[in-house]
């Protein structure tokens, strides 16, 4: 029975982890493969190998693409963790009594994934979700090989040198870590002091010297400051965010302690107490640091629905909003409303706001959904520019290539389109998409928004403001859909002259249809502001007039109040354009 106890514990733990990932992070896992790119070409392999640890990144990017089906990527990840625990049990010769200790590295590796949050947009290490697991498993396998190696013919010191010399180019810091741990393990394996000390010194020298030799003689794309940290994610923007490295520090400490301290059988009560405290601390840490920001997860779900043209799905997600939304959430929701033709009736029926992104660094809408918004609103030059800049800065991703291909198709740049589609045909899961890209239904919807001057200027990083101003300044009326978007943009800019210009066009283009509620509210409000005569004789719905009168009476008490005081006090009217016009004018755009 004891023989099968470890595997039972491992399988139960992995089942819980897999269930939690798929339940809580399904959209995040999907996003990981969108932010990833693996091509089945020799050139792609060579591009990965021009930096230390390139093999790990190459394998990591290959495995990350399987999150196209989140359940499949999760299963592969759990199988690798099962292999890791099996290796750890053997390399450190753990009895069944101590087998639960092998869950500690798995928990730490899980934490490096689930605490990521907005770093998913910023990390430059290719395949980073799998790199930690692959590297740790490789370290365990190499240590096992070192332990069972015969102690003769100088095989052990030779293995230390070879592990550092080959491990660093192939696995980066994990190769160095394996070599260093071999030197430390020799204290338990060797009998003479000079061998123990000699192997440790040799390992340390290899760890110091090999990266410097590779930096000088082999690689030309490696920063000297990062030469010892190859294949670790760099949590750096304008400063280092050290807290995100803590799981890696603890992982190194785990290997170090087990390499030095022999784990011997002890009384069951003491064993259960020690392991129980360690595992409970680990679980508490994972639960505590698991990233659970509401807006982040709404954004991911909405992006996934938009990619599937599931506009109802976007609105279903928007209806779940409880916290103040970010502008990315608001923009994607409004896009869905416009695609369904109900923005004029339902735009303010949802929560509005501009909450700062819950990231330790200055996160911007541009990075969350900038290229996507520019694409769907027909500003293809800006979508292409941002996609290209992000590809250069963070590495090329499936998401970038798909947007670039669609923009090229809409601009009838066939040579450009063929280039991007050809690359996507070398992926595992986007071959069919690339084959049918020219007939995508969404291209027709986007083409209806392409009525701007074909220019490219600066947006100063303010995606929404720039886009809404460009729309509000547009005068094209050849497409009723585009014209309505220009009218909606004038509600955003709150420019009265722009509104009347587009409103008159809208009435002319829709002579026999009822004017949507929010257009009526804006028209009635501007009539009152301008003091137009005969407002009561105009065909406004009675509910519009009553709503305005009630809002005006309630708002009188807060004429000189700060907006942060007036907003909660007038929440009963937050679903009206009156509330938006007076109380939501100065929203910051992050």
By residue count, the chain amounts to: 590
Q: What is the pLDDT of residue 296?
A: 97
Please return the burial class of 256, using the count of CB atoms within 10 Å of its CB with bins 0-12, 13-18 and 19+.
middle
Six-digit token string for 449: 């928004």
User: If we measure between CA atoms, which residue out of 442, 420, 438, 376 comes closest to residue 37?
Assistant: 420
1 pLDDT above the threshold of 60: no
Pair 366, 463: CB distance under 8 Å: yes
Asked if 199 and 190 count as a contact pair (C-beta separation under 8 A), the reply is yes
Q: Given this model, what pLDDT does residue 2 score?
A: 59
Q: pTM of the predicted model, to two decimals?
A: 0.93
pLDDT band at 3 (very low <50, low <70, confident <90, very high): low
> Could you tell me which of 589, 326, 327 has the C-alpha nearest to residue 459?
589
Q: Would the pLDDT of 403 be above 60?
A: yes
The residue assigned the tokens 């029926």 is 349
Alpha-carbon distance of 453 to 379, in angstroms, equals 9
Question: Who's near 112: CB < 8 A, 6+ residues apart?
Answer: 132, 233, 244, 247, 248
What is the average pLDDT across 568-577?
A: 92
For the beta carbon of residue 447, count every other beta carbon within 10 angstroms. 14
Q: Which of 495, 459, 291 is nearest to 365 (CA)?
A: 459
Say how far residue 281 (Cα) sits from the centre of its chain.
Answer: 27
Look at 268 and 94; give whichever has higher pLDDT. 94
Q: How confident is the model at residue 136 (pLDDT cuts 50, 70, 90)?
A: very high
- Name the E strands within 446-498: none
Instruction: Quickly state the pLDDT bin for 4 (edges 50, 70, 90).
Output: low
pLDDT tens-digit map of 42-71? 999 999 999 999 999 999 999 999 999 999
Task: Tell me the pLDDT tens digit for each residue of 523-571.
Answer: 999 999 998 877 777 788 889 999 999 999 998 888 878 888 888 999 9
pLDDT tier, 135 (very low <50, low <70, confident <90, very high otherwise): very high
Angle at 267 between CA 274 and CA 181, to 5 degrees: 55
pLDDT at 317 over 80: yes
pLDDT digits (tens, 9 = 90+) for 274-283: 888 988 999 9
pLDDT of res. 274:
84
Residue bearing tokens 């292409």: 384
As given in the structure block, the two tokens for residue 479 are 């497409």
> How distant, in Å, are the alpha carbons of 178, 348, 499, 563 from that of 493?
59, 15, 9, 18
Q: Are 118 and 87 in contact (CB under 8 A)?
A: no
Structure tokens at 208: 């110091």
Q: What is the pLDDT of residue 477?
A: 93
Which residue in this structure is represented by tokens 């784990």? 263
Alpha-carbon distances, residue 133 vs 11, 109, 175, 231, 426 (angstroms) = 17, 7, 13, 11, 26
Q: How far apart are the first and last CA of the chain?
A: 58
- CA-based torsion, 521, 523, 524, 530: positive or negative: positive
Q: What is the pLDDT of residues 370-380, one digit of tens each?
A: 999 999 999 99
| pLDDT beyond 90 at 132 | yes
User: What percent of the chain is helix, strand and coil (3-state, nearest 5)?
Assistant: 70, 0, 30
Neighbouring CB atoms inside 10 A of 117's CB total 21
How confident is residue 453, by pLDDT bands cut at 50, 70 and 90? confident
Task: Return the pLDDT at 202.
Answer: 92
Distance CA 440, CA 419 (A): 18
As beta bridge partners, residue 507 has none
Q: In this model, does residue 454 exceed pLDDT 80?
A: no
pLDDT digits (tens, 9 = 90+) for 291-316: 999 999 999 999 999 999 999 999 99
Q: What is the DSSP string of 213-261?
A: HHHHHT-SS--GGGGGGTTS---BSSSB-GGGGHHHHHHHHHHHHHHHS
Compute how many other C-beta atoms are within 10 angstroms of the C-beta atom of residue 152: 7
What local confidence, expressed as pLDDT, does residue 262 receive?
80
Tokens of 438: 């020219």
Mean per-residue pLDDT, 485-502: 96
| 9 CB burial (10 A radius; 0-12, 13-18, 19+) | middle
Backbone angles phi, psi at 260, to 5 degrees: -95, -45
Lowest-pLDDT range of 25-39, 184-198, 202-216: 184-198
Please name the residues in contact with 403: beta carbons below 8 A apart, sequence gap of 6 or more: 371, 372, 375, 383, 384, 387
> In this predicted structure, what is the pLDDT of residue 391?
94
CA 341 to chain centre: 30
Return d(Cα 97, Cα 445) in angstroms, integer. 62
C-alpha closest to that of 494 among 579, 581, 584: 581
User: What does the radius of gyration of the chain's CA atoms come to, in whole angstroms?
Assistant: 29
Structural tokens at position 240: 């280092």
State how far the alpha carbon of 294 is from the alpha carbons of 98, 114, 332, 352, 571, in Å: 38, 14, 15, 14, 21
For 244, phi and psi rounded to 5 degrees?
Answer: -75, -10
Phi, psi at 236, each rounded to 5°: -140, 130
387-398: burial string, b at 16+ Cβ within 10 Å, e else:
beebbeebbbbb
- Dihedrals phi, psi of 116, to nearest 5 degrees: -70, -50
Contact at 8 Å (CB) between 168 and 175? yes
pLDDT at residue 536, as a whole number = 73
Q: Which helix (H) or strand (E) holds 128?
A: helix 128-148
Note the pLDDT of residue 149: 83
């Amino acid at each position: 029975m004891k023989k099968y106890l470890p595997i039972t514990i491992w399988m139960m733990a992995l089942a819980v982890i897999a269930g939690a990932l798929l339940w809580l992070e399904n959209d995040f896992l999907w996003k990981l493969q969108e932010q990833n790119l693996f091509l089945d070409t020799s050139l792609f392999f060579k591009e990965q190998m021009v930096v230390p640890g390139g093999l790990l990144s190459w394998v990591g990017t290959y495995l990350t693409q399987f999150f196209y089906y989140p359940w499949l990527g999760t299963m592969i990840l759990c199988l690798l963790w099962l292999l890791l625990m099996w290796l750890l049990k053997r390399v450190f010769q753990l009895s069944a009594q101590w087998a639960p200790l092998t869950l500690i590295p798995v928990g730490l590796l899980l934490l490096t994934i689930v605490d990521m949050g907005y770093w998913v947009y910023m990390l430059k290490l290719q395949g980073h979700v799998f790199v930690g697991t692959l590297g740790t498993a490789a370290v365990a396998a190499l240590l096992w090989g070192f332990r069972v190696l015969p102690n003769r013919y100088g095989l052990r010191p030779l293995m230390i040198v070879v592990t550092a010399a080959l491990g660093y180019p192939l696995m980066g810091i994990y190769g160095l870590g394996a070599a260093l741990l071999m030197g430390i393990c020799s204290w338990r394996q060797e009998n003479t002091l000079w061998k123990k000390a000699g192997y440790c010194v040799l390992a340390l020298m290899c760890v110091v010297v090999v990266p410097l030799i590779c930096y000088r003689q082999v690689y030309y794309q490696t920063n000297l400051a990062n030469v010892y940290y190859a294949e670790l994610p760099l949590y750096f923007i304008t400063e280092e965010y050290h807290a995100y490295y803590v799981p890696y520090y603890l992982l190194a400490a785990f290997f170090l302690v087990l390499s030095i301290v022999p784990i011997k059988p002890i009384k069951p009560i003491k064993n259960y107490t020690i392991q129980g405290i360690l595992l409970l601390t680990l679980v508490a840490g994972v639960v505590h640091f698991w990233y659970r920001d509401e807006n982040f997860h709404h954004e991911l779900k909405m992006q996934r629905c938009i990619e599937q043209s599931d506009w109802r799905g976007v609105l279903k997600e928007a209806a779940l909003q409880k916290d103040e939304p970010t502008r990315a959430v608001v923009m994607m929701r409004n896009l869905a409303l416009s695609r369904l033709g109900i923005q004029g009736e339902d735009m303010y029926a949802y929560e509005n706001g501009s909450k700062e992104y819950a990231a330790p660094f200055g996160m911007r809408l541009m990075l969350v959904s900038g290229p996507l918004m520019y694409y769907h609103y027909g500003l293809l030059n800006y979508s292409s520019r941002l996609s290209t800049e992000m590809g250069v800065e963070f590495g090329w991703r499936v998401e970038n290539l798909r947007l670039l291909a669609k923009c090229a198709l809409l601009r009838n740049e066939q040579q450009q389109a063929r280039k991007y589609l050809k690359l996507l045909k070398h992926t595992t899961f986007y071959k069919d998409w690339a084959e049918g890209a020219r007939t995508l239904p969404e291209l027709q919807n986007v083409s209806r928004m392409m009525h701007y001057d074909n220019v490219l200027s600066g947006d100063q990083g303010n995606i929404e403001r720039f886009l809404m101003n460009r729309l509000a300044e547009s005068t094209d009326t050849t497409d009723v859909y585009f014209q309505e978007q220009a009218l909606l943009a004038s509600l955003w800019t709150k420019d009265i002259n722009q509104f009347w210009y587009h409103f008159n066009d809208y009435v002319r283009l829709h002579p026999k249809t009822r004017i949507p509620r929010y257009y009526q509210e804006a028209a009635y409000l501007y009539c009152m502001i301008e003091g137009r005569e005969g407002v009561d004789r105009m065909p406004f719905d009675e509910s519009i007039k009553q709503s305005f009168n009630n809002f005006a009476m309630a708002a009188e008490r807060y004429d000189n109040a700060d907006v942060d005081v007036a907003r909660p006090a007038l929440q009963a009217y937050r679903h009206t354009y009156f509330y938006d016009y007076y109380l939501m004018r100065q929203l910051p755009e992050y």
